[in-house]
Amino acid sequence: MLYNPEKHRRRTIRLQDYDYSQAGAYFITVCTKNRERLFGDVVGETMNLSVVGKMAKMFFEAIPSHFQSVALDEFIVMPNHLHGIIIIQNVGVQNFEPLQKQNIFQHIIPKSLGSIIRTYKSAVTHWCRNNGYGNFVWQRNYYEHIIRKEEALNCIREYIMTNPLSWDLDKENPYQKGEDEFDKWLKRQFIKGESNS
């Protein structure tokens, strides 16, 4: 069957007409397929990483070595997902490369948030398949929130740092026992029009 952009268009969760390669701070969440707990488990108030979880952490920490205009802020690997703050910095003219043609099927812009996450997910998947963890699969896509204010940045940092303490309330936890205050805060940002969701 031939690709028909009108018929086969997937619903995007990205902010329309926003350039995700521009400088800015982004809160991201990347999940395993079906929220399978492959990265370890929360014991008490501590996240104990499995071998795959340790590799997911290591590859995330390596992102700035592959994308020179990227810096990492707070991040944490949880049982079935990773939360992190990715900062795309202004790049000087001397660092620009010629624009590459965008793939019309994947809509990935080089050096954009999407290309960063795609590269990260690919690296973890490749390592897993080459090291006996062939059942590892990511959930399609990822969640992102554009961080526009210092207050929001600090709130998100606090959430990431304390995520294991509220694992019972985490919406990514299949056995969630209530709503997390952070999720309520994110909903308020959406209502106030400060979110891109």
191 falls in which pLDDT band (50, 70, 90)? low
Nearest to 85 by CA among 98, 75, 95, 97: 75
By three-state DSSP, how is residue 16 classified? coil
Given its phi and psi angles, is residue 57 left (phi above 0), alpha (psi -120 to 50 degrees) or beta? alpha
Q: Where are the beta strands (DSSP E) in 44-88?
A: 46-49, 70-77, 81-88
d(CA 84, CA 160): 7
Alpha-carbon dihedral sign for residues 68, 74, 78, 82:
negative
CA 77 distance to own-chain centroid: 11
Average pLDDT over residues 34-39: 96
How many residues can be counted in the chain? Answer: 197
What is the per-residue pLDDT for 184? 83
Half-sphere exposure of 88 (CA within 13 A, CB side): 20
Residue type, 129: R
pLDDT tens profile 73-130 = 999 999 999 999 999 987 543 333 334 444 444 556 778 899 999 999 999 999 999 9
Tokens 């999720």 sit on residue: 183
Mean pLDDT rounded to a whole number for the chain: 82
- Domains of the chain in sequence order: 24-93+103-191 (3.30.70.1290)
Over residues 55-71, the pLDDT tens digits come to 999 999 999 999 989 99
Is-above-0.85 flag for pTM?
A: no
Residue 20 in this model has a pLDDT that exceeds 60: no
Cα–Cα distance, 187 to 184 (Å, whole number): 5
